[in-house]
Amino acid sequence: MLSSNEKMLDVAKMLKETGDVKMFASWQDIWNMQFSNRRQPWAVDGKLILDDSMIAFMDMAKIIAENGYDLNTDPWSPSWTAAVESDDTFCYVLPTWGYQFVIKPSAVNTKGLWGLTEGPVPYVKGGTWLGIYKDSPNKDLAWAFLEYVTLDSEAQQKYAAEYGEYVSLKSADEALAQNEGEEVLAGQNLFQFFNEQVAKIPSDLMTAYDGQINTAFLSATKAYAGGAITKEEAIQQFKEDVVTAYPELTIE
C-alpha cells in the first residue's frame, strides 16, 4: 500500500476519510525520500540542476497540505514530536536515528503500537564525519578514540542496544539482528529491518552547496504548499535565493 508516491497518497486519503487521521506528522517529512532519489545533484559543472524529483516533491507537498493529510506543523517542533502519542497521526518518515530520537523516547501510551516499514523508495539522511586535526599533538590517542567509537564491534553493540540506534558497523548490526526486538516496536528488531534496507540505499549526491540550497528549496515549497505563491513563483524565488547564496553558479 506504500510502494509508490501515488499509493501513499491514496492511503492518506483513506485515513482522512475513514477516521480523520493524518497520514504524516508533516509533509516536510517526505523530503528525505524525494531528495535521495534524484538523478543528479544540485550542481553539475557549476550549473544549478533542478531535478524532476524535486518538482515531484513540490507537487506532493501541495497535495498533502491542501487535503489536510498532515498536521501542518514543522519537523522538530513540539507539536510534531507530540504526535508520537496522538491517536490522529499515522506515521513519520524518518532516517534510522529517527527512532532513537523521536519515537522511542516519546512513546509512552503508544508503546508497542509502532512498527518500521518500507516506503516507496529507500533513502538516506545526512551523516557524521570524524577526523583528526593534522597538527594534533595526540594523533595516536585521537586514532585510538576514533577506532573505539567506529570500529570496536563490542562497544558499538552496547551503544546501539542501549539507545536503539542503527550504527555504521556491519558486524555490530548483524550481531544485534539476532537479539530480541524493541518493546516500542511490539518486538520488531530494528536491526533486522535496517540490515535489509541498507543494501538498497541510493548513491549519495551530496555537494558543498546542499545546506543553503536545501533551505531555499524547502522555503519556496512551503510558500507554494501554503498557497502564498504559485508554483512558478516558488521556483523563481528558489532560483533567486540560490543566486544570492552562490553567485558563482549558473542558473537558467
The H or E element containing residue 89 is strand 89-91
Provide the residue ranges of all domains of the chain, joining segments of one domain with +.
5-124+203-245, 139-181
Q: Give whole-number Cα distances, 13 to 1, 84, 211, in Å.
A: 12, 20, 33
Rounded to the nearest 5°, which phi and psi values hold at 70? -140, 180
CA distances from 99 to 176, 184, 234 (A): 16, 10, 33
Q: What is the pLDDT of residue 125?
A: 76
pLDDT attached to residue 127: 72
Indicate the fold that domain 5-124+203-245 takes in CATH: D-Maltodextrin-Binding Protein; domain 2 (3.40.190)
Q: What are the pLDDT digits (tens) for 173-217?
A: 999 999 999 999 999 999 999 999 998 888 878 888 998 999 999
Could you give the residue ranges of the DSSP H alpha helices within the chain? 5-19, 31-36, 52-67, 78-82, 96-98, 104-106, 139-151, 153-163, 170-176, 190-197, 210-225, 231-245
Average the pLDDT over 114-142 and give the result.
90
The pLDDT score that the predictor gives to residue 252 is: 86
CA distance 233 to 220: 8
Return the closest-CA partner of residue 104 out of 131, 127, 124, 85: 85
Write the pLDDT tens digit of every residue in 15-41. 999 999 999 999 999 998 888 888 999
What local confidence, expressed as pLDDT, does residue 163 receive? Answer: 84
In the three-class reduction of DSSP (H, G, I as helix; E, B as strand; rest coil), residue 48 is classed as strand
Beta bridge partners of 70: 24
Report pTM. Answer: 0.88
Q: How far apart are CA 5 and CA 59, in angstroms?
A: 11
Q: Give every CB contact of residue 238 below 8 A, 6+ residues apart in sequence.
A: 50, 216, 217, 219, 220
Nearest Cα residue to 23 out of 95, 103, 83, 104: 83
What is the reported pLDDT for 250?
94
Q: What is the pLDDT of residues 148-160, one digit of tens each?
A: 999 999 999 999 9
